[in-house]
Amino acid sequence: MSAPGLFDRRLIFVLGKGGVGKSVVAATLGTAWARAGKRVVIAEVADQHRLSDLFANREETRNTPTELAPNLFGFSVDVDKSTEDYLAAHIRVRPLVDLLVRSRTFHNFAAAAPGLPELVTLGKVWELAMAVDGGRPVWDKVIVDCPATGHGIALLQTAGNVSELAAQGPVRDQAHRIEEVVKHPAATGIAIVARPEELPVTEAIDAAAALRADGFPVAATIMNGMTPRRFWAEDASVLGRVPGGDPTITAAVRSALRADHHARIEQAHLDELAAGTGTTPMVLPDLGPVVIAQSELALLADALDGAPRSLRPVGHP
């Protein structure tokens, strides 16, 4: 699949402004890799449940991989259950763990403890990425559908913060091991998603800079929802020279020129994303006002695999 920056990495974090299409992009990457024969799991975090809609999967499982399509699994991280697993791994006295997880005070504490929900979430993701069976990794690709930018960055930074701040001991050691994987440029790739509009692009550029400054491997950007370009540069100049007179033709030409103008604005945003992040963005087309389900994901995955020319904007053959 033509996702060069992400090709060799096992752990992929999909990040971006709220509503830009992170879940759709995570599902598209998963679809493309699964059909290329990779064993893929998409992890949903922060209590999101988009995968079940996208793949019309009725099963609601938490902390267990659910098959969504051949080779493609979903995994919804349950913070409470993960906290319990985490405590069980660190406090070896089981009755004490049971007592703790049954106590309301503990739940209030765990929800409020700075970074704890993020740390257990990241710990689950890390477990998926590190899982081996018979000496082979269980998953070729672990794709994390992150919450919107600020929370997504906080999720990534949490292991580093804990390993810096926690007292010496097993918690700090584990946070350090997680941080090493999450920052390892051969293991992990962060994919930042934007839409061809000003705010999502600015936020993507800022996120890339902040993450890189912190030592995270920003590996790719994805411009989601580009309007398929209908006119080439020559067409636009011909349209501009159509003589007036017939109102129907004038209206049609005006509408075509408007579409071309819109496409140019989107192209400018794409160029800005490329320049501002030092990446060559992957481009996904706007599918229009459809409900995105498996057949639409297959179309988007086709676009990643090498879109037909009509789906590609000028300048990105």
Ligand X SMILES: Nc1ncnc2c1ncn2[C@@H]1O[C@H](COP(=O)(O)OP(=O)(O)OP(=O)(O)O)[C@@H](O)[C@H]1O
Kindly list the residues in this chain that would bind ligand X in the complex (CB under 6 A): 16, 18-24, 48, 50, 148, 224-225, 284, 286-287, 292
Q: Can you tell me which of 23, 31, 221, 279 binds Mg ion, judged by CB under 5 A? A: 23
> Per residue in 108-139, is it b (16+ CB within 10 Å) or e — as a string?
eebeeeebbbbbbbbbbbbebbbeeeeeeebb
CB of 300 to ligand X, least distance (A): 6
CB of 15 to ligand X, least distance (A): 9
> How many residues comprise the chain?
317
**279 near Mg ion, rule: CB under 5 A:** no
Residue pair 13/190 in contact by the 8 Å Cβ criterion: yes
> For Mg ion, which is the closer residue by CB, 51 or 159?
51
**28 near Mg ion, rule: CB under 5 A:** no
> For ligand X, which is the closer residue by CB, 127 or 286?
286
Q: What is the largest CA-CA distance in the chain?
A: 87
CA angle 172, 175, 176 (to 5 degrees): 85
CB of 82 to ligand X, least distance (A): 20
CB of 132 to ligand X, least distance (A): 30
Q: 35 touches which of ligand X, Mg ion, none (CB within 5 to 8 A by kind)? A: none
> For Mg ion, which is the closer residue by CB, 9 or 22?
22
Parallel, antiparallel, or unpaired: how do β-strands 132-133 and 136-137 relate? antiparallel
Q: 229 touches which of Mg ion, ligand X, none (CB within 5 to 8 A by kind)? A: none
Residue pair 306/2 in contact by the 8 Å Cβ criterion: yes
Instruction: Please state the φ and ψ torsions of residue 310, each to the nearest 5 degrees.
Output: -65, -20
Q: 46 touches which of Mg ion, ligand X, none (CB within 5 to 8 A by kind)? A: none
How many angstroms separate the Cα of 126 from the Cα of each of 68, 182, 221? 21, 8, 22
> For ligand X, which is the closer residue by CB, 117 or 225?
225
Contacting positions for Mg ion (CB under 5 A): 22-23, 50
